[in-house]
Amino acid sequence: MNRVRGIARWLLGFALLFTGIGHLTFARASFVAQVPQWLPVPVDVVVVASGIVEIALGASLIALSRYRVVVGWLTAAFFVAIFPGNVEQFVSGTDAFGLDSDLSRGIRLLFQPLLVIWALWSTGAWKAWRAQRRKRSSEPRG
């Protein structure tokens, strides 16, 4: 099982590296289309910053196996943080990444929780959290 988790972690890491590079290069316009208009930060700053974060998280998922639990929580938090961009794309009806209908944009919204789960499962973060909770609940209270 650890081998499967490791492969899943590496795949997620490479996907984040690829996506982060896309933020900074070939897919920049599509990422600009996803930035919520209500953010008080220039759109390009959001796209570049999120691309840099994705590259850092991707590299960390691949190279920092010793810190995989922490990186897993950070990656899951990142996926939660960018969810408003996906909602914005759906609500505004913006076409990007081949998502050119409300149905396709809506389906994409359903996949965001799967990314959170992938990050937590593949890094063992969820397992570590559950083990910590079990340990605390079995300790005598005094």
Is residue 142 included in any domain, yes or no? Answer: no
> Is residue 110 domain-resident?
yes
C-beta separation of 97 from 30 below 8 A: yes
Which residues are paired to 111 by β-bridges?
none
Residues 33, 94: contact at Cβ < 8 Å? Answer: yes
pLDDT single digits (tens) 100-114 = 899 999 998 999 999
Q: State pLDDT tens for residues 45-87.
A: 999 999 999 999 999 999 999 999 999 999 999 999 999 988 9
pLDDT surpasses 70 at 142: no
The answer to whether residue 31 scores a pLDDT higher than 80 is: yes
pLDDT of 98 higher than 90: no
Query: What's this model's pTM, rounded to 2 decimal places?
Result: 0.90
| Mean pLDDT score across all residues of the chain | 93
Range of the domain at 112: 2-137
> Does residue 2 or residue 142 have the better pLDDT?
2
Residue type, 42: P
CB atoms within 10 A of CB 75: 29
Q: Is the pLDDT confidence value at 140 over 80? A: no
Strands (E), the chain: none
Number of structural domains the chain divides into: 1
